[in-house]
A = this chain, B = another copy of it.
Amino acid sequence: MRDFSGDHRWLSLNTATVRRQGDLAQIIEACARHGIRAIDPWRDQVATIGLDRAVRAVRDAGLELSGYCRGGMFTSDAAHRIEARDDNRRAVDEARALGAPCVVLVVGGLPQYSRPGSVASKDIAAARTQVDDAIAEMLDYARTVQMPLAIEPLHPAYAADRACVNTTKQALDICDRLDPQRSGALGIALDVYHVWWDPELLPQIARAGKDRLLAFHVCDWLVPTTDILNDRGMMGDGVIDIKSVRSAVEAQGFDGYSEIEIFSNAWWEKPIDEVVQTCISRHRSVV
């Protein structure tokens, strides 16, 4: 396992971590101040300052991307299907313009939450079938521009409203069905927050192997968790044995960025430099 204690060259900042403290240009400036080499920006943050300006800001700062957040929300009723497809094609185009190594996919839960206005359903099996089909369709498009797709399994607490792919096994089953040749076009984004509880995590990481491990995200699970979406913890403040997961991922040959993604009402209240400094010190000590 790589030694992170001496520097933070393998730290990437998911820009949602400080989304309330500034726009994407200001976040990029903060990264420059703190010697952060990579980010994973969100589409809405890019849209706010404009894609061209975002591309220039990333290039001028000499930043790499560790991913682009996010594509997905595939589940919908028939009336919203084309909208979802086209929206995801734009995500691929934006990722390419920004030089991202992959588009992270949050696949959507039940249609009424994934694409508001869709007819309500309780059929999670049907949602999962729709996700398979829609990833296949998006993959066809993404292959034409050599943009890998990274399916992110989300914690089962989000099965209804955010993602009906809830385990690493499920995500890898999709990869195996749609990309059996392991071409590099399809893989997974592994976030310790979503998968730390899974008794099958370690064998599934081994099954994934280097060619399916496209992104690695860290934060922590707090006890108690007071808000299921926006009370994620700074690494070291919760119960996840982060080093053991990173060790398993790197044992497969993963050598990319360790991306910090924290949705937290508490950390969003703090000054950006304090948050970034804390991320750096925790990256060195507990990641």
Contact = CB atoms under 8 A, between A and B. Distances in A.
Interface of A: 110, 113, 122-124, 128, 155-157, 159-161, 164, 166-167, 170, 196-199, 221, 223-225, 228, 238-241
A225 B228 contact: yes
A198 B156 contact: yes
B155 A221 contact: no
A239 B156 contact: no
Considering residues A164, A225, A239, A240, which has the most beta carbons from chain B within 10 angstroms of its beta carbon?
A239
Given A122-B239, A199-B167, A239-B110, A228 B160 contact: no
Contacts of A239: 110, 122, 160
Binding site secondary structure of chain A:
loop
Contacts of A113: 223
Contacts of A170: 199
A97 to B, nearest CB: 34
Contacts of A228: 157, 224-225, 228
A157 B157 contact: yes
A199 to B, nearest CB: 5
Nearest 5 Cβ contacts at the A-B interface: A159-B197, A122-B241, A156-B197, A160-B239, A157-B157
Contact of A166 (B199, B223, B224, B241): B199
Contacts of A122: 239-241
A155 B223 CA distance: 15
B199 A160 contact: no
Given A123-B241, A157-B157, A228-B228, 13 more contacts: A110-B239, A113-B223, A122-B239, A124-B197, A156-B157, A156-B197, A159-B196, A160-B221, A160-B239, A164-B197, A166-B197, A166-B198, A166-B199
A134 to B, nearest CB: 17
A159 B155 CA distance: 11
A284 to B, nearest CB: 18
A224 B162 CA distance: 11
A121 to B, nearest CB: 9
Considering residues A113, A123, A159, A164, which has the most beta carbons from chain B within 10 angstroms of its beta carbon?
A159
A127 to B, nearest CB: 11
A267 B220 CA distance: 32
